[in-house]
Every structure is written in C-alpha cells, then in structure tokens.
Amino acid sequence: MPGVPAPAVSSNLARGGEISNGATLLEIRDPRVVSAYAVEAILLLDHCRSRSRQSKTTKTKPLGLRTDDSWAAPFYDANDIKSRERRCSPEAKAENEAHR
C-alpha cells in the first residue's frame, strides 16, 4: 500500500529457525520501545547471571559480597560490557544531561 511502511518484522535469517522453533528477528524503530526492550534484556541477563552464580555456591564457598573495591573495576573498564551498561543506563544519561 502506498504511504504505509512495510512491517518491521523479519525471519531469523534461517529457514529452519522459522519452521522448527519459531525464532524470529524483530526490528523496532520507536526509540522508546527499543529502550524498554533493552532494559528488559539487561534485567533478564542479570537474573540469569545471578542464578548461575547461585547454583555454583557451596558451603565452603558461599555467594557473598567482596569486601574490597575490586567488584567495581569492570564497570569502569571501557572494554567490559558492564561499563557499557553503566554508561547507557537511564541514570547515566540523566547525569550527563544535567552536566551540560
């Protein structure tokens, strides 16, 4: 139809994925929706990471907080995904805009 954009939905780029497991690739163009999905994806990954760590705990090596500041290093390493997550968070964006 003229003037109506094509749907922003695509296959997962493999015929088998679409037929056997229903996996799809979705293109989202609205920045607000993209941000919402990104936040949910990070929350889901954090949850899975936490569950994985919890499943590996033992009585001799319990899950706990580090007593030094070594845990913070990945959040300030430009090559670490945790740093990107920190810089892309809504709090970081608001802080950057406040300093302009």
pLDDT in tens, 58-85: 989 888 888 899 999 999 999 998 888 8
Q: What is the pLDDT of residue 66?
A: 85
Specify the pTM. 0.48
Contact between 29 and 8 under an 8 Å Cβ cutoff? The reply is yes
Q: What angle do CA 87, 68, 71 make, to 5 degrees?
A: 30
More confident: 2 or 56: 56
On whether residue 14 sits in a domain, the answer given is no
On whether residue 94 sits in a domain, the answer given is yes
On whether residue 91 sits in a domain, the answer given is yes
Contact between 48 and 54 under an 8 Å Cβ cutoff? The reply is no
Count: domains in the chain: 1
On whether residue 35 sits in a domain, the answer given is yes
On whether residue 15 sits in a domain, the answer given is no
pLDDT exceeds cutoff 80 at 33: yes
Burial class (CB within 10 angstroms; exposed 0-12, middle 13-18, buried 19+) of 49: exposed
On whether residue 20 sits in a domain, the answer given is no
Residue 51 belongs to what domain range?
A: 30-57+69-100
pLDDT exceeds cutoff 70 at 40: yes
On whether residue 84 sits in a domain, the answer given is yes
Contacts of 83 (CB under 8 A, 6+ apart): 74, 75, 76, 77
Contacts of 39 (CB under 8 A, 6+ apart): 90
On whether residue 21 sits in a domain, the answer given is no
Question: In Å, what is the CA distance from 50 to each residue of 19, 41, 79?
Answer: 33, 14, 21
